[in-house]
Structure 1
Amino acid sequence: MAKRHSPQGPAPDLPPKKKSRTDKDAKKKGISDETSDAPSKGSSYVQSTALSALPQSEIDKFLSSNMIKITDSEAGSSPLRPLISFDHLPTCEGDLYQALQGFSAPTPIQSATWPLLFAGRDVIGVAETGSGKTMAFGLPCIKKIVDSKKAGKGARPRAVIITPTRELAMQIHDQLLKLSGKAHVEITCIFGGVKKDEQRSALKKASVVVATPGRLKDLQNEGAVDLGRVKYLVLDEADRMLDKGFEQDIKDIISLMPVSKRQTIMFTATWPPAVRNLAATFTSSPVTVTIGGEPSADPRANTRIKQVVEVLDPRDKENRLLQILNQHGGGKGGGNKTLVFCLYKKEAMRIERFIRSRGFKVAGIHGDLSQQERFKSLEAFKTGSVNILVATDVAARGLDIPAVKLVLNVTFPLTVEDYVHRIGRTGRAGADGHAITLFTENDKAQSGALINVLKAANQHVPDELLKFGTTVKKKQHDAYGAFFKDVDTGKSATKITFDD
């Protein structure tokens, strides 16, 4: 990809800056123009000529049509225009942008967050699964290190990306490797379930660390990694990390990072009070970017995914499963990629054997498999050696498997959040997706929550599903179950006194 045109200042039709602002103020707010130096947190950004030339009406139309809302917590900050085209990217040495050549344009979350991240601002991104969030925080991360001209020196990480699962950590790591190219940026992936020796060695020279909270905290506690120079922190799928009980681990990890020079980015699919509290704790004057409407505490499905819910007798599942696989090209000689979800590992193994016995090429991924076996199954599915993958929810979050045409839920998950993330494995990176769910009376406790998800995404709600009722079951915590209570942890305790 060719280098970008020489950048210029902001478009003339943008709201003017206050004349009373000094260069020092501009630095503090992370805004770059021809009269200010590089902004805080070690980043600089100047809007490109091509982007400046666009009329404001075109910018407004782009924001409206993509349902992008940008809320800046800093009063008086001048808005930064979304990067509608890759031609609007700032200049960069090397081949960093070559990884973008396979895409026609940035996704909405990338368009809106890139200028903010290039400018050094803290950002909270609320967007659906499969919206291109990895590239949204990944590109500014690598560019920041390349621009520092110290990419090859290592000596303690300068960027840390924390994510809830090892599968997602590996996926992010692979995407960043594509970005780094010949930039000589060392990237390592840290997660549990494997020996620490190789990870300790990799940490000594890594500039970017992608990690799950538990293993990173272990290595931090034993002195294998020093996070005192981290200037770029990403919390990916923050809602899921809180659901898994990682809040204290995250706080312990971040407590040893610098504050004033650190840029913090948080991405989340939902916006419940717990995530808002986390954002308030670790970000400084953040800009909140929401894709798809007002931030919600409820899970929302990708609107590009066609959701079909079939209500049937539990005894009819296997016959219907075979019909769907044949109809949607998961055929015995190849065809489209189909991801089949089951609730429990024993069920997944049984369904995998059943599908294989009918002559289909199929692989499995669930908790009973070793990490090596899971990697092997995923690789076979990604490369097309098999076109059907049977999985439990261990594969539901974060995995960016190219060209999954159909997600088939043989059994409904325990929560509607997991349902949203299951079907989010299709319809990724701007493509359309298709999800079919086999729903039975055994799943009726989730009918109300499922109906809400379908309605929010403008999907058809079958009458058979409505008969189960529209009551939404109270959300349970992964660790505490129905006894979990979402409380305001910032509220002061009430003093109790006793009479003598």
Structure 2
Amino acid sequence: MLRELETGVDVLVATPGRLVDLLERARVSLQMIRYLALDEADRMLDLGFEPQIRKIVEQMDMPPPGRRQTMLFSATFPKEIQRLASDFLSNYIFLAVGRVGSSTDLIIQRVEYVHETDKRSHLMDLLHAQRETEIHGKQSLTLVFVETKKGADALEYWLCGNGFPATTIHGDRTQQEREMALRSFKSGKTPILVATDVAARGLDIPHVAHVVNFDLPNDIDDYVHRIGRTGRAGKTGLATAFFNENNTSIARSLADLMQEANQEVPAWLTRYASRVSYSGGKNRRTGGGRFGGRDFRREGSFNRGMDYYGGGNSSGGYGVPGGYGGGYGPGVASAWD
């Protein structure tokens, strides 16, 4: 890799930590950068990566905004992340395609009340029912999200022991182990993949028919990214979530998101939602805000005459009628200068 860098490259793809390491060792220079792209920008600028991104963009030899074009992409763009992003952009355009921060109606969302002790047996019932409806014996792929690495390994072991071939992907598995697990899953050899949020973003796996939130996340943005692994490229998909008393913090935002995506909201979830207000504030990990689908400058607190283009079913923005782009399934937001 270092030899290839020394000869020069046209495109460099890197994780923030590795790039900072190479820059500090003077093994790579950013002086000739003309285009800077941050994928999954909301996560890149979240608590863990913000210092590294700032160091790369502001403290190394990266050209200033006027001499480079900067592009940020994500399916969710919370307000506080947009504020951080504005530090790296100049007079930027916010482009929304589809319902950003929400879900496509190609994904059927179901929320079922399941006690913690009943989750495994309920998952088994779902998988048995799915087997019975599969066409010509062809197994569809099922992605099951859990909260912890230990929980992922335990559920994989239990599924395999009950006749459902499964594999796992999480942060404790090596890169080689993750790649092997993904190959096994994609090929259908192990048609069930048990995963933590390491698989919630960036993975484009064809033919995932069912996403199961065995453990619901605390943040609605994470839920959006998880269920977005199905219903891709115009295909339909199913997303099932197991809800119980441990998930009350997400009830309001979950009910609102389902309603926005024209999904049937169970009456019992509406009752939970009525008891819980949005958490708001700085901690977006406890229920979330309005899914980050709107340019926060439109609220008037940060309007410096910049542009906003809305896509899909939006009514446009800042005098742009009808919107720009549109209906590509799960919404995608991007900002660039």
- In structure 2, the residue matched to 1:469 is 273
- In structure 2, the residue matched to 1:313 is 115
- In structure 2, the residue matched to 1:242 is 45
- In structure 1, the residue matched to 2:124 is 322
- In structure 2, the residue matched to 1:40 is none
Distance 1:252 1:481 in 2: 25
- In structure 2, the residue matched to 1:354 is 158
Contact 1:447 1:472 in 2 (8 A): no
| 1:70-85 to 2 correspondences below 5 Å | none
**Aligned to 1:248, what secondary structure does the other structure show?**
helix
One-letter amino acid of the counterpart of residue 279, structure 2: K
Contact 2:218 2:249 in 1 (8 A): no
Q: Post-superposition shift, 1:283?
A: 2.8
Q: Deviation string for 1:356-379 (max 9, x for gaps)?
A: 011122111123322221221112
Distance 1:208 1:223 in 2: 18
The answer to whether structure 1 residue 300 and structure 2 residue 105 are counterparts is no
Contact 2:131 2:139 in 1 (8 A): yes
**Alpha-carbon distance change, 452 to 202 in structure 1, aligned in 2, over 3 angstroms:** farther
**Aligned to 1:452, what secondary structure does the other structure show?**
helix
Contact 2:218 2:285 in 1 (8 A): no
- Of 69, 72, 76, which residue of structure 2 is paired with 1:270? 76
Q: Deviation string for 1:393-412 (max 9, x for gaps)?
A: 11111111122111011111
Of all paired residues, the percent bearing the same amino acid is 42
- Quote the RMSD (CA, aligned, Å): 2.7
Contact 2:46 2:81 in 1 (8 A): no
Distance 1:271 1:446 in 2: 18
| 1:149-228 to 2 correspondences below 5 Å | 199-204=1-6, 205-228=8-31
- In structure 1, the residue matched to 2:289 is none
Higher relative contact order (CA 8 A, sep 6+): 2
Q: Which runs of 5+ in 2 are unaligned?
A: 287-300, 303-337
Q: Deviation string for 1:84-119 (max 9, x for gaps)?
A: xxxxxxxxxxxxxxxxxxxxxxxxxxxxxxxxxxxx
Distance 1:278 1:292 in 2: 23
**Aligned to 1:372, what secondary structure does the other structure show?**
helix
**Alpha-carbon distance change, 432 to 210 in structure 1, aligned in 2, over 3 angstroms:** same
- In structure 2, the residue matched to 1:345 is 149
The answer to whether structure 1 residue 336 and structure 2 residue 140 are counterparts is yes
Distance 2:76 2:85 in 1: 13
Contact 1:334 1:387 in 2 (8 A): no
Q: Post-superposition shift, 1:230?
A: 0.9
- In structure 2, the residue matched to 1:289 is 95
Q: Deviation string for 1:211-230 (max 9, x for gaps)?
A: 11121111111111111111
**Alpha-carbon distance change, 343 to 284 in structure 1, aligned in 2, over 3 angstroms:** same
- In structure 2, the residue matched to 1:55 is none
TM superposition score normalised by structure 1: 0.52
Q: Deviation string for 1:460-488 (max 9, x for gaps)?
A: 1101222323324526878x978xxxxxx
Distance 2:110 2:21 in 1: 43
Structure 1 stretch displaced more, 311-320 or 447-456: 311-320
Distance 2:171 2:49 in 1: 20
Distance 2:86 2:53 in 1: 14
The answer to whether structure 1 residue 375 and structure 2 residue 179 are counterparts is yes
**Aligned to 1:467, what secondary structure does the other structure show?**
helix
Distance 2:77 2:40 in 1: 11
Distance 2:182 2:281 in 1: 30
- Count of residue pairs the alignment pairs up: 281
Contact 2:230 2:238 in 1 (8 A): yes
**Alpha-carbon distance change, 419 to 476 in structure 1, aligned in 2, over 3 angstroms:** farther
**Aligned to 2:71, what secondary structure does the other structure show?**
strand
Distance 2:147 2:78 in 1: 25
- In structure 1, the residue matched to 2:35 is 232
Distance 1:365 1:334 in 2: 23
One-letter amino acid of the counterpart of residue 73, structure 2: F
Contact 2:109 2:240 in 1 (8 A): yes
- In structure 2, the residue matched to 1:453 is 257
**Alpha-carbon distance change, 396 to 271 in structure 1, aligned in 2, over 3 angstroms:** closer
**Alpha-carbon distance change, 425 to 476 in structure 1, aligned in 2, over 3 angstroms:** farther
**Alpha-carbon distance change, 454 to 432 in structure 1, aligned in 2, over 3 angstroms:** same
- Is the radius of gyration larger for structure 1 or structure 2? 1
Contact 1:242 1:274 in 2 (8 A): no
Distance 1:390 1:266 in 2: 29
